[in-house]
Amino acid sequence: MTQARPFRPPSEQEIAANTAGGMNVPAEIVETAYHEYHQDLLAFLLGVLRDGHLAQDALQQTFLKLAESGGQARSETLRGWLFQVAYREAMQIRRRQRSDDVHRQKSWWMAPNDLSVDSEPIQNLIQQELTEKLRSAVQDLPVEQRQVLERRIQGEETFAEIAASMSTPLGTVLTRMRLALERLRKRLRDD
Amino acid sequence: MTEQNADHDLNWLATQYALGELSPADHAVFEARLATDEAACLAVAEAVRLMVQLRAATVPVGAVALAATSSTPVPGRQLARRWAAAWVTVAMLTVAMAWFAVHQAVPPAAVELASTDLLARWTHAGLVDDADAWDDADLDGEWLDESLSAPNWLVQAVQLADESKSARP
């Protein structure tokens, strides 16, 4: 695993040093795009790579690519273009890591130890106001939905393990989790 | 299928992908979709953000279980055990406080009173109050010596207090 870079857009020097074809997009445009989209891209990369350091590496590479060849992307499709680049970077990193069985890896944010190591990207995704709203919304969930949600989010148990320990069919546990998430999303939208 | 249902399906698929809950085959299919489907990429990003927020918003399972346990009625035997534990804690605190008192600069007379009184209480609590239990217990000498007799440091403290008293004019 490579050392995580600081959580910021690439500087002009970094762009110049890392882009073979020179810089085709002004640095201020790269920086603006970074501030606009980096949270979506980071969260996406965390979902694909399940590693905070690797996700940050892929994020940096994505914006270096934007500086190098982002002139091809139109502003209205820039986010889609960035997602495609981020995806390719993630796949390249995964091939280098040879972690083909990534679907079997536990989500990195579920492991408390990893949280301390990668606290910076995690902290960038957490919004305090949203946390308070969610806390209240979770308390309002039906108890059986809340139970499954909390065990899956906090306990590092798979749905199958939760179903087995609750002597409940797996389908029921999945339905409870799905309904809980839909309720929470709706509550956040309505608030 | 309505647009809303399609959104719900995509959100749920993305959540399962982010949580690593898809089968290897479904995982591969969904991941291939991410290469070209911006909505699917956004759904993964949204799922990860929601999970991270939820983790910050929900209390750990252990704390929930503890809270739930403490709010349920406690059977009599369990209650008795808790009282016993509380008494043991109080007794240990008393011993610790007395030990500090003995080892700090307090008047010899106070040391003598405190330590003698403590020794008497210790012996009384250990040997007299539990006399009924002793009748039922299958005791051996080693257990008796180690767990119910006064500790050496306490005996020495009392002896020191006695010596200092006898040395005084």
Which chain B residues touch A37 with a CB distance below 8 Å?
Answer: none
The Cβ of residue A158 has, within 10 Å, a number of other Cβ atoms equal to: 16
What's the rounded Cα separation, in Å, for the pair B118 and B115?
5
More confident residue, A4 or A102: A102
Q: Do the chains contact at A125 and B38, CB–CB below 8 Å?
A: no
What's the rounded Cα separation, in Å, for the pair A134 and A149?
12
Residue A175 forms contact with B (CB below 8 Å): no
Q: What distance in Å separates residue A24's CA from the closest CA in chain B?
A: 24
Residue A135 forms contact with B (CB below 8 Å): yes
Q: CA of A79: which chain B residue's CA is closest?
A: B38
Place of tokens 């299928």: B1
What's the rounded Cα separation, in Å, for the pair A117 and B148?
49
Q: CA of B34: which chain A residue's CA is closest?
A: A87
Which residues fall within 8 angstroms of residue A94, CB to CB, at 6 or more apart?
A48, A49, A100, A102
Look up residue B128 and give its two tokens. Answer: 């007299």
pLDDT at B65: 45
The gap between the terminal CA atoms of chain A, to the nearest Å, is: 40
What's the rounded Cα separation, in Å, for the pair A56 and A122?
11
pLDDT at A141: 95
Task: Give the CA distances from residue B47 to residues A43, A178, B10, B51, in Å, rounded to whole numbers and listed in that order.
Answer: 8, 12, 10, 6
Which chain B residues touch A105 with a CB distance below 8 Å?
Answer: 20
pLDDT at A3: 43
More confident residue, B25 or B69: B25
Q: Do the chains contact at B50 and A181, CB–CB below 8 Å?
A: yes
CATH for A127-190, options being 1.20.950.20, 1.10.10.10, 3.10.20.90, 3.30.390.50: 1.10.10.10
Report the b/e string of A124-146 with b at 16+ CB within 10 A.
ebeeeebbebbeebbeebeeebb
ipTM of the complex: 0.82
What's the rounded Cα separation, in Å, for the pair B117 and A65?
81
Chain A residues 13-32 with CB within 8 Å of chain B: none
Closest partner CB to B61 (pick from A84, A135, A150): A150
- Whether the model clears a pTM of 0.80, i.e. scores above it, the answer is no
Most confident of A48-52, A177-181, B86-90, B105-109: A177-181
Q: CA of B25: which chain A residue's CA is closest?
A: A103
Residue A123 forms contact with B (CB below 8 Å): no
Report the b/e string of B52-73 with b at 16+ CB within 10 A.
bbbbbbbeebeebeeeeeeeee
Task: Tell me the per-residue pLDDT of A130-168, one tens digit each, with 9 for 90 and over.
Answer: 888 899 999 999 999 999 999 998 877 899 999 999 999
Closest partner CB to A130 (pick from B44, B45, B53): B53
* In chain A, where the domains are located: 12-109+113-122, 127-190
pLDDT at A88: 95
Q: Do the chains contact at A40 and B42, CB–CB below 8 Å?
A: yes
Which chain B residues touch A151 with a CB distance below 8 Å?
Answer: 61
